[in-house]
Amino acid sequence: MTIQVTVNGAPTDVADGATVAALVADRSTGHDRVAVALNGGVVPRSRWTATALAPGDRLEVLAPTAGG
């Protein structure tokens, strides 16, 4: 069973019951200091494992880059 969520603007199928932690592990290769927004709010790192995804969730998985 999969559910559909939106990750960084793209519709994405994830396993039913998948957590933010699993999604980050899948997406953050080569990045450190990742931050996650879920439906317009911050998910602190300490809550990643406990936060399960629900159908229609909007996620932003972000990492450091250069900027002025």
Partner 1 sequence: MTTTDLVPALEQEEAADPFTLGGEAFTSRLVLGTGGLPSLEVLEDVVRASGTQLVTVALRRVEAAAGSSMTEVLRRCGVRLLPNTAGCRTAREAVLTAQLSREAFETEWVKLEVIGDDRTLLPDAVELLDAAEQLVADGFTVLPYTTDDPVLGRRLADVGCAAVMPLGSPIGSGLGIRNPHAIALLREQVDVPVVLDAGIGTASDAALAMELGCDAVLLASAVTRARLPVQMALAMRQAVEGGRLARGAGRIPRRWHAEASTSMAGLPDL
Report helix, strand or coil for 20: helix
Distance CA 62, CA 27 (A): 10
Residue 35 binds partner 1 (CB under 8 A): yes
Supply 1's token pair. 């069973």
Which structure tokens are listed for 68? Answer: 């002025």
Q: In sequence order, what are the residues at sequence separation of 6 or more whose Cβ sits closer than 8 angstroms to the Cβ of residue 30?
A: none
Among 3, 18, 22, 60, binds partner 1 (CB under 8 A): 60
| Residue 4 in the binding site for partner 1 (CB under 8 A) | no
For partner 1, the closer CB: 34 or 52: 34
Residue 6 in the binding site for partner 1 (CB under 8 A): no
Binding site for partner 1 (CB under 8 A): 8-9, 27-28, 30-37, 40-42, 44-45, 60-68
